[in-house]
Structure 1
């Protein structure tokens, strides 16, 4: 009885939580006004103040998964708007009524602005059909009804602008959605990730210059090694990020290839000759990016290799950033009982129980981002490997993960640069102390007394708690020779 009562209580709590988690703006069916729209399956009630129609409403009801946080990403919807605008303008050349073309183009501008997305006209989640058909129809319906409104017609009438016959003219979800995937990813890589990586790279380059003359002990296997400058250490970080930007630019040509024009299975059925090339050219104009028609529509519909390639680069970038952030937080460990070679900015209190404690929070944030991106790569890889015959039906989960990784990396790089990297200082006293105590300076004796004798000197110094100099002199090296040979400034490069 006790267990049953607890179970009932838990059920009530769950119901309460579900109720509280719903959008406050949502009204009951009795309070909300509807209009009736139709599709090939019959009539559907649609909120009177929304531009979407029957197919969107069906998807909304059939896939109530995850809530607003799982909506189709905004960049995809904006990309669909760009695509529909370009298609309408090109279709005008192939006989689409000029007034309808203009109305579609203007309605698409409202989609491109992001305003309609923000106002809830694109409610669908990524957990829908794997082809993205419902998001394509969401866009078709919104543009159709908005265009009808602009032309003075009645929303939901499909007159004078039909969502399929006019907005989707010469298209299929199977070519529009993958095209939108490429457009959105291409735009986000160019407008967000590459600039943020460039900013972080410049920040590291500035530190590389600032730390150019600070000699410190190197570490391999987490153990003491031979010296290098702090600037040289940071130059490695800079090169990692330069390589990341090179990799991104190297994969962009495949991102710029658009499936638009392949229609249902890649044959181009129901599209006009020249439509694909003209539409791609117009998309390139609208985005200021070199989008073009894919060389093979069958690959462009059935495979998502370009997105897997892109996320492979994002994954590699995350690996690089993880290394950089971990190095910086370890070098900044302390302040008294750690390595303490770097002094990191103190941004906020670090503990609710230990007064005065400050933590490397920017490093922690960036490494968590990197972990998430690495996890996203698994989802993208699985999705990309599941193209069957003429179509891949994992596109929404692929693009959502790619875009999320781009956003996280972009924001993470900017935040890390602004709130951590720029404020880093070198703890010169600590760096000098650690370097002087290192036994690995003995490496400089190798060319003069041989590896075995140098190793014996280092081991003896470690065992006896003495200095290298003391043990070297005992082994027959003169004080003058030791001073001349064991000079960290002469150990920073080849002779």
Structure 2
């Protein structure tokens, strides 16, 4: 290796290239930059964290087990800590759409850590005799076991720091609205037609319960991410690893992220199968499906202000039109719908990529990594924004809700057991044709006594949810 003022010379099995003297990445990263000018998308911060955490844990384990020099181990760990604190982030430059399995990004991480470790040891970047990206930073590892582990760790980090807190925040806000709106009766609607009355508070309580159920499903799916194939090396046989490396590195990595990580019972299976990622992605798609329904409901209930339902008011957060003064749109609900569509698209991509592996390796892991972690994070960010900018500030229009409930023809349903289905249907038809109220027609026809009719058509009793047993 030769250092010049503005560049250094690095060599690999394909030859030598000039590298900027300021760059912490090396020749393999440079080749990837040249080969993959595809999207301009760089690795997600959480994915970088996951990869660096793995390298840190591996360096500690290999140093502890005597596989690499303790001074080299310490330098790699220090370099990793600096990156985890936010330094050198601009050095991770490989496009998301890159060499299969993620070798290019993996070597980008190895090279940055090696060169920073060299500096910490008083050496110069590119002098890989002291700290080598492959022989030291990557000791006992392979792209084939590091990348699926990084997807697992990245997914767990994204769930822990982004999606799970956002879901919890949304549930709390919806529960508060359920209490606040409990006494407000509104018309139910099925098939977009009048239905029997419901409580506005119960509508929001149902939204909260839906999200609670998704919390459970997502947590169950995420359990698959805690079983690691790390230590399987190239194909799952553990070639070139210390016998105690697998359990040691899993324990160290688990402690670093606060998760009970374990060694997978079959390393080859853990490295080949993308099923854990498909499972988590499916739980996200499932959540997105219900979030879409909730966002559409919020928009419908807020539609108007003069020609729609306008049973609730979503907080106006920005002007809604470049031409119509005074217009406000349900932009937060619209935003989360778009995010949900994207997450559902990611799920399809992950499904296709997961089945595209052959024999001992799935080469589509870079796509799975980006789509899964990005999907978790944008969904979490969108839910938190919806909560903060919309849900907590929703107000109700009790008068509008009551008027719709009292004018609904579906109230006739409560008369079935007293005057019979056919009589009730005739009453509904006459009410629609004449504009008379249900009460007036029933009394005119002498079908029920006034006191019983008032009791049967009591909106509060009719809309009360049954008590749980």
Q: TM-score range by the shorter chain?
A: over 0.9
Q: How does 1:199-348 map to 2 (within 5 A)?
A: 199-348=169-318
Distance 2:317 2:98 in 1: 42
Retained in 2: the 8 A contact 1:74–1:114?
A: no
Query: Equivalent of 1:60, from 29, 33, 55?
Result: 33
Alpha-carbon offset, residue 484 of structure 1: 2.2
Alpha-carbon offset, residue 290 of structure 1: 1.4
Q: Which residue is equivalent to 1:489?
A: 460
Q: How does 1:170-209 map to 2 (within 5 A)?
A: 170-209=140-179
Query: Equivalent of 1:81, from 49, 52, 73?
Result: 52
Retained in 2: the 8 A contact 1:457–1:475?
A: no
Q: Which residue is equivalent to 2:12?
A: 39
1:421 partnered with 2:391: yes
Distance 1:138 1:344 in 2: 46
Distance 2:387 2:54 in 1: 35
Q: Which runs of 4+ in 1 moved over 6 A?
A: none
Distance 1:179 1:140 in 2: 15
Alpha-carbon offset, residue 139 of structure 1: 1.0
Alpha-carbon offset, residue 113 of structure 1: 2.2
Alpha-carbon offset, residue 452 of structure 1: 1.4
Distance 1:425 1:195 in 2: 24
Alpha-carbon offset, residue 288 of structure 1: 1.1
The one-character-per-residue Cα deviations of 1:48-96 (angstroms, maximum 9, x if unpaired) are 10111111111111111112xx112221111111111111111113222
The one-character-per-residue Cα deviations of 1:183-209 (angstroms, maximum 9, x if unpaired) are 111111011100011001100000001
Retained in 1: the 8 A contact 2:151–2:373?
A: no
Q: How does 1:125-164 map to 2 (within 5 A)?
A: 125-164=95-134
Retained in 2: the 8 A contact 1:131–1:394?
A: yes
TM-score, with normalisation over the residues of structure 2?
0.96
Distance 1:64 1:449 in 2: 74
Query: Equivalent of 1:50, from 2, 5, 23?
Result: 23
Query: Equivalent of 2:87, from 90, 98, 115?
Result: 115
Report the secondary structure of 2:240's partner residue. coil
Alpha-carbon offset, residue 332 of structure 1: 0.5
Retained in 2: the 8 A contact 1:148–1:159?
A: no
Retained in 1: the 8 A contact 2:314–2:330?
A: yes
Retained in 1: the 8 A contact 2:10–2:16?
A: yes
Distance 2:213 2:56 in 1: 36
Q: Which residue is equivalent to 1:20?
A: none
Q: Which residue is equivalent to 1:403?
A: 373
Q: Which residue is equivalent to 2:75?
A: 103
Unaligned runs of 5+ in 2: none
Retained in 2: the 8 A contact 1:140–1:164?
A: yes
1:352 partnered with 2:325: no
Alpha-carbon offset, residue 251 of structure 1: 1.3
Distance 2:165 2:434 in 1: 54
Distance 1:416 1:493 in 2: 27
Distance 2:168 2:110 in 1: 37
Q: Which residue is equivalent to 1:29?
A: none
The one-character-per-residue Cα deviations of 1:366-401 (angstroms, maximum 9, x if unpaired) are 111111111111111111111211111111111111
Distance 1:233 1:58 in 2: 56
Distance 1:98 1:356 in 2: 68
Distance 1:256 1:473 in 2: 67
Instruction: Tell me the number of residue pairs that the alignment of Structure 1 and Structure 2 aligns.
Output: 460
The one-character-per-residue Cα deviations of 1:296-341 (angstroms, maximum 9, x if unpaired) are 1112111111111111111111111111111011001111110010
Q: Which residue is equivalent to 1:460?
A: 430
Query: Equivalent of 1:365, from 331, 335, 349?
Result: 335
Report the secondary structure of 1:391's partner residue. coil
Q: Which residue is equivalent to 1:72?
A: 43
Distance 1:398 1:243 in 2: 25
Alpha-carbon offset, residue 243 of structure 1: 1.0
Alpha-carbon offset, residue 494 of structure 1: 5.0
Retained in 2: the 8 A contact 1:461–1:467?
A: yes
Retained in 1: the 8 A contact 2:145–2:229?
A: yes
Aligned-pair RMSD on alpha carbons?
A: 1.3
Report the secondary structure of 2:99's partner residue. coil
Retained in 2: the 8 A contact 1:79–1:112?
A: no
Report the secondary structure of 2:101's partner residue. coil
Distance 1:424 1:291 in 2: 41
Query: Equivalent of 1:375, from 345, 356, 365?
Result: 345
Retained in 2: the 8 A contact 1:63–1:127?
A: yes
Distance 2:384 2:112 in 1: 35
Distance 1:471 1:142 in 2: 82
Distance 2:445 2:142 in 1: 82
